[in-house]
Structure 1
Amino acid sequence: MASTGYRVIVDFDRLDRSLVDGFKNIATSVFGDVMGRMMVMNYAIKPINQPGVHMAGSALTVRTHASDNLLVHKAMDIARPGDIIVVDASGDTEHAIIGEIMSFYAKTKRIGGFVIDGAIRDRIGIAKLGLPVFAKGTTPRGPYKEGPGEVNTTISCGNVPVSPGDIIVGDDDGVVVIPMDEAHVILEKALELTSKEEETMRSIGQGKWDRSWVDEILRKKGIELETNNNMTL
């Protein structure tokens, strides 16, 4: 009988692929802004790929012992194309959770990528595969395959809660988590902010960016703008 520490939930609800695809090519910084700077994973979880990486997909979650990857192997076996395998390895970097062979297997299954609150190995080999992988560090020391662990329960990764089916977005800046039940609203807000930022960039290029808001905020905070009357030219 399944119990805490030894659970594998084979399937879970996923958002429609057309909605998930809408999160592609939108910067993580935009999602962070529209979520109040929340749901952003710790900066230590970084991409190991070449610059320009971007991934978006449904979270398939794994909680594992910091030195073990047995349940990560099981997660790969049950993952669907596009899923992002998110691993809570307690932030430990003494043992690698995945390496090049596992990453190659994941790519052949069209898994969308990995986010690991822990370490990986074979960094160069993984980078050459082009599979998006985000991790806290690297080490040559491999893992055991004994358990315990859980698949598709709510975990913590990079100090952010992640549930199966949440949307994971990662790019050169890091990783954000979009709660599944708020995905529609957050995507709509992200598209609006993206459009607004594009308009701001156009205004800057045309020399028309209104900067009056800076002094307005300073005045509201009671900060006086002083002029040095003793200046000479």
Structure 2
Amino acid sequence: MPSMDSQELRRRFAALTTAHLTDACIRAQVPVRCAPSALQAVVPGTRVAGRALPARHVGSVDVFLEAFEDAEPGDVLVVDNGGRTDEACVGDLVALEAETAGVSGIVIWGLHRDTADIRTIGLPVFSTGSLSTGPQRIEAQPENALESAVVGDWTVTRADLAFGDEDGVVFVPSSNAADVLDLAESIRDTERRQAERIRSGVSLRAQVRFDRYLAARRENPSLTFREHLRAVGGAIEE
């Protein structure tokens, strides 16, 4: 678990977005690990933040129940169902049991079902979509089924944190959480100041001295806008 507890983690993320976190990862030189864009909240506007609780699904819910045995309050169940589109692997009973176990949300690399009941339960669930049928297969559970979960291109372990909002889900190593959150808050504050100045009549081009950037780029074609922004204290790209 990161140095901050689950409540502090959720409190800080409540004033941020996943976009702030990804920009902060770039600034901190931490790999940006976004779940595929198809993975979205079942209920629009839902947010989640917590330590990843991985589980690899092979056709039966028992792997989730086993994961809940070791769950800590605020954990986020991260389900690896290989991104399958032929079966749903999480339904209302798993969501309800997750809530009972103190889990703060579920992220599924795959499909869910029982959408109406999940909405009623209110536990944040993120998935790639819904399908009425559950699994019609039972496969052998690998020994490391509770050690890691693959989501898109990324392998997620209990050393990671999961954050989700209207823009999707991003995973951040617990060891980098404090730095990433600090940077995200700084980026958020800079962007808010820039937005306020735009509304007051000072264009973004004026704020970031865009004319100076164009002149400098003519002298040095390799100069990037990101390098210029860092020099002038802008935050539009990170």
What TM-score bracket applies, with the shorter chain setting the length?
0.7 to 0.9
Q: CA 1:146–1:199 in structure 2 vs 1: closer, same or farther (change >3 Å)?
A: same
- TM-score, length basis structure 1: 0.80
The residue that corresponds to 2:112 in the other structure is 120
* Structure 2 counterparts to residues 134-213 of structure 1, below 5 A: 134-143=126-135, 147-149=140-142, 150-212=144-206, 213=209
- The gaps in structure 2 that reach 5 residues or longer are 222-238
The residue that corresponds to 1:55 in the other structure is 48
Deviates more, 1:143-152 or 1:38-47: 143-152
Deviation, structure 1 residue 135: 0.6
Map Cα deviations across residues 65-94 of structure 1 (whole Å, 9 max, x no partner). 3x4433122112331221000011111121
- TM-score, length basis structure 2: 0.78
Separation of aligned partners in 2, 1:25 and 1:132: 17
Separation of aligned partners in 1, 2:192 and 2:2: 31
Question: In the alignment, does 2:98 pair up with 1:106?
Answer: yes
The residue that corresponds to 1:94 in the other structure is 86
- The gaps in structure 1 that reach 5 residues or longer are 1-12, 223-233
- Report how many aligned residue pairs link the two structures: 208
The residue that corresponds to 1:35 in the other structure is 25
Deviation, structure 1 residue 145: 5.8
Separation of aligned partners in 1, 2:80 and 2:23: 25
% identical aligned pairs: 29
Deviates more, 1:53-62 or 1:18-27: 18-27
Preserved CA contact (<8 Å) 2:194 2:204: no
Deviation, structure 1 residue 56: 0.6
Q: Which has the larger radius of gyration?
A: 1
Map Cα deviations across residues 188-233 of structure 1 (whole Å, 9 max, x no partner). 10111111111112112211234144455555277xxxxxxxxxxx
Deviation, structure 1 residue 161: 2.5
Q: CA 1:146–1:70 in structure 2 vs 1: closer, same or farther (change >3 Å)?
A: farther
The residue that corresponds to 2:14 in the other structure is 24
Deviation, structure 1 residue 152: 3.6
* Structure 2 counterparts to residues 215-230 of structure 1, below 5 A: 215-217=211-213, 220=217
Preserved CA contact (<8 Å) 1:154 1:163: yes
Q: CA 1:147–1:120 in structure 2 vs 1: closer, same or farther (change >3 Å)?
A: farther
